[in-house]
Amino acid sequence: MIDNTRRSRKHGARAAVISIFVFLLIWQAATTFTSLGILMPSPLISLSAFFKSFIVPIGPYPIFIHIYWSLVRVVPFYIVGAIAGIILGITMGWYKPVAAIFRPIFEILRPIPPIAWIPIAIVWFGIGEGSKWFLIFLAAFMNVTINSFAGARSTDPVLVGCSKMLGASDWQIFTTVVLPGSVPYIFAGLQVALSSSWATIVAAEMIRSSEGVGWIIISSQETNNSVNTLVGVVAIGIVGFILAVIMREVEAVLVKWTKRDI
Amino acid sequence: MQKNKTLLYLILSIVSLALFIGIWYYFTAVLQIVSPKTLPSPVKVFTTFIDKFTNPNPDGATLLVHALSSLKITLTGYLTAIVIGVPLGIAMAWYPKVDLYVRPIFDLLKPIPGVAWVPLMIIMLGIGFASKVTVIFISAIVPVLLNSYSGIKQTRDVHIWVARTFGASDWQMLTRIAIPTSLPYVMTGIRVALGAAWTTIVAAELIASTEGLGFMIQQSRGIYRPDIIIVGMVTIGIIGSVLGLLLMLIESVLVKGRSKV
Amino acid sequence: MDEARHMSKSIIVAQGISKTFTNKRGSTKVIENINLEVRENEFLCLVGPGQCGKTTAVNVLSGLEPASTGTVKINGKTITRPGPDRGFVFQSTALYPWLTVMGNVEYGPKVRGIKKSERREKAQYYINLVGLEGFEHSYPNQLSGGMQQRVGIARAYCNEPVVLFMDQPFGALDAQTRYLMQEEIIRIWETAKRTIVFVTNNIEEAIYLADRIVLLTNTPTQIKKEYKIDFPRPRDYTDPDFLALREEITNEMDKTL
């Protein structure tokens, strides 16, 4: 039932290709032979439109420029939010007075999804880039803080005792035990934060912008262009996937010690 | 000594919260540096909150009507996702054939955020109930299914061998061993899906809707009523927390029932 | 230095130590009125039945946990908290999973500000001593249980403490590895003499290792009896005297239950 041999993996890849092919085939048949074709573009049309969009612009730009715009909005403020989140989360998790001061406010804001901040962000920072930066910062900050906090909280007390015994000062315990011990949690947070930031920018661009992947799908919807809407959805999925893979690779390089050789 | 510290931390928390609201009040209501069109005072937010329970203006419905509208759509899509996603995830993990052919489709859907489906669904199903329920369904079923799937995959070979030596059928092994093992993972999926569903409904209502909490805060932005926006945000937060707590309650009952057996 | 005086010098002096844990349900006395002296370079085993307060006793003696009453002096200084003059080998190995073997062993000297070349040399010496040459750059989860415990021992040694406390370090190992590690710890101790306080629930292990065995009672843990062991090393598990002593201590321990 549960096996991970190389043969079964190869088998899996073949099945995946077959499965996706069959899925596309059913979709193609459904749109060609039934009335679903009126509502929904066929996969052939959608895929050719997707590849065409690299040369023929959608609105002002070809698709990769739209993706570039969305990424330029996300990446810098994602990093800023993540760094702030790591600092606050870890210190809150380790130093009880810091938790006592910041945690109540944080817990009030935490259940509000970043997307729900869009209207007030526009009120505060205008419809331009400022509000988007704020939203991305928030999405990254919230998720990373929660996970870093959990990471610092889960510090192994035996390791702390061990460090004390070996002569480490409180600050050394913080930097050599609490911080590295939280790294797997921090990465879990960074991963969640990345998909949350990506969803938030898509939503924000749908509400107010003149370029970006979110803009593609909303402006296509406004003109009832279901083909380009689908092209936008595919682009959002692919970029989201690539971002998650990059994050996983970064983690694999930085957190070597969780891998087992034996 | 320990007790004194706990008390000290409690005082610190209260002071910090009071300071937060105090500064907010001082800058908005006392100094009036910040325009009420940008950030209303906490008092104003509170009175709006009370007022919104009975006053349908300026966005056409009271707070409760909006909240119920959002909840109805969310729960319909979310519960459907659980009813379909949990068995499908279990079947995928237990029967390798299903796994091989269904999982790739879900791996493709996984990186697409729920919001991104909104415009497509509007084109296909219009702005109403159906399109939103579908969007919620899609955004909730992915975590439910993938977590149920990994839950079943946690089943220990040892347990299966033991069961086999006792002559358990495949079906018995699934229901007596694999499914109980998977329960914590299934619950995680259900919890993650709730967050995804609740976030997505707000987003969907922000983008295109005629009622709901997302619609309410988006409308209030257009007419410079940040007090209603904040009331809406707080309500979204409260409902999200309450739903999360309810789920935790259900989970603790389920897990307790299991440990008694 | 005068060898006779050297041997008779008391390194650890514990007087009237007790430990009571208090929680919402009330308080439990885990250890009661333990008086103990450990001489320099002595290998002392604390032996007690399953769930007795052995771990608490060694935690208090080493300063990991404060005593409720009584004092512990090491080299004449009263101890109240953990410090680098003591080494501790944990049952759970407690290695830093994110540090390599070298990183773990040199941790103590590093946090005490010893410069890199010096601490590397020292760490390498102890890594070689415990037989882990060639594994300097491995991470703990790439090592077997026995090897992990060797790292733990090297790490404790590398700080060059006055006393080494070992809390059931071989408790989680399989029988084969356990016998091997018992031989190894004696070899290491004979090469680099230290005062060792070793906790175990295995009487055979204690007789194999110790100069002196202190038998503890069930909770609240007190000292039941002491045994001085003069068998020459390396000891033989099948020697009649060895077996007789094992019988005697086993009977004594059964009485405490």
Query: Which pLDDT tens digit goes with each residue over C48-70?
Result: 887 778 889 999 999 999 999 99
Share the mean pLDDT of chain C.
89
User: Which of A1-5, A17-21, B12-16, B235-239 comes out lowest in average pLDDT?
Assistant: A1-5
Q: How many domains does chain B have?
A: 2
Domains held by chain A: number? 2
Confidence of residue B164 (pLDDT cuts 50, 70, 90): confident
Residues B19 and B60 in one domain: no
Among the partner residues B16, B112, B217, nearest to A104 by beta-carbon distance: B16
Q: Are B82 and B29 in the same domain?
A: no
Distance from CA of A17 to the nearest CA of C (A): 36
Instruction: Assess A19–B contact: CB distance below 8 Å, yes or no.
Output: yes
Same domain, A143 and A252: yes
Start-to-end CA span in chain B (Å): 42
Binning pLDDT at 50, 70 and 90, where does residue B259 land? very low
**Segment among A6-15, A207-216, B42-51, B178-187 with least mean pLDDT:** A6-15
Share of chain B above pLDDT 90, in %: 46
- Tell me if B111 and A237 make a contact (CB, 8 A cut-off): yes
pLDDT at residue C1 is higher than 60: no
Angle (deg, nearest 10), helices A179-207 and A63-94: 140
What element of type H or E holds A206?
helix A179-207
**Residue A214 and residue A210: Cα distance in Å, rounded?**
9
- Helix, strand and coil percent figures for chain C, each rounded to 5: 40, 25, 35
From chain A, pick out residues whose CB is under 8 angstroms from the CB of C97: 257-258
pLDDT in tens, chain A (262 residues): 444 455 566 677 787 888 888 888 888 888 888 877 777 788 888 888 888 888 888 888 888 999 999 999 999 999 999 999 999 999 999 999 999 999 999 989 999 999 999 999 999 998 889 999 999 999 999 999 999 999 999 999 999 999 999 999 999 999 999 999 999 999 999 999 999 999 999 999 998 888 999 999 999 988 888 888 989 999 999 999 999 999 988 888 888 776 554 3
Q: pLDDT digit string (tens) for C151-178?
A: 999 999 999 999 999 999 998 889 899 9
Q: Domain of A60: which CATH number?
A: 1.10.3720.10
Nearest CA in chain A to B207: A207
pLDDT in tens, C97-136: 999 999 999 999 999 999 999 999 999 999 999 999 999 9
Asked if residue B257 has pLDDT above 80, the reply is no
Q: Are B79 and B178 within one domain?
A: yes
For B46, the token pair is 């509170």
**SS in 3 state form for C12-37?**
EEEEEEEEEEEECCEEEEEEEEEEEE
What's the CA gap between A20 and B105, in Å, rounded? Answer: 6
Question: Same domain, yes or no, for A109 and A223?
Answer: yes
At residue C246, the 3 state secondary structure works out as: helix
Check which CATH number belongs to the domain holding B182 and give it: 1.10.3720.10
- Say yes or no to pLDDT of B104 above 90: no
Q: Does residue A99 share a domain with residue A53?
A: yes
> Among C195, C12, C161, which Cα is nearest to C84's?
C161
Binding partners of A (≥3 Cβ pairs within 8 A): B, C
Question: What is the arithmetic mean of pLDDT over B211-231?
Answer: 91
User: Residue B146 and residue B150: Cα distance in Å, rounded?
Assistant: 6
Contact of C97 with chain A, judged by CB distance below 8 Å, is answered with yes
Contacts of A2 in chain B (CB under 8 A): 153, 155, 157
Q: What is the mean predicted confidence (pLDDT) over C9-33?
A: 87
pLDDT higher than threshold 60 for residue B260: no
Residue C27 — very low, low, confident or very high, per pLDDT cuts 50/70/90?
confident
Beta strand spans in chain B (E): none
Which chain A residue lies closest to C83 (C-alpha atoms)?
A: A165
- Per the structure, the complete domain to which residue A24 belongs is given by 1-40
One domain, residues A186 and A65: yes
Burial of A156 (0-12, 13-18, 19+ CB in 10 A): middle
Query: Residue A146's pLDDT is what?
Result: 94
- Do A127 and A113 have their domain in common? yes
**On the CB side of B57, how many CA atoms lie within 13 Å of its CA?**
0
| C7: confidence class by pLDDT, cuts 50, 70, 90 | low
Same domain, A21 and A46: no
Both B21 and B140 in one domain: the answer is no
Q: State how far the Cα of B221 lies from the Cα of B231, in Å rounded to an integer.
A: 12
Any A CB within 8 A of C146 CB: no
Q: Are residues A172 and A203 in the same domain?
A: yes
Question: What mean pLDDT comes out for the span B210-215?
Answer: 91
Contacts of C82 in chain A (CB under 8 A): 161, 164-165
pLDDT at residue C256, rounded to an integer: 63
**pLDDT higher for C139 or A255?**
C139
Q: Model ipTM?
A: 0.87
Averaged over B44-56, what is the pLDDT?
A: 90
Question: Both B171 and B44 in a single domain?
Answer: yes
Contact B100 A19 (CB under 8 A): yes
| A188 plus A165 within the same structural domain | yes
Domain that holds residue B85: 40-260
Chain B environment of A233 (Cβ under 8 Å): 112, 116-117, 120
Above 60 in pLDDT, residue C2? no
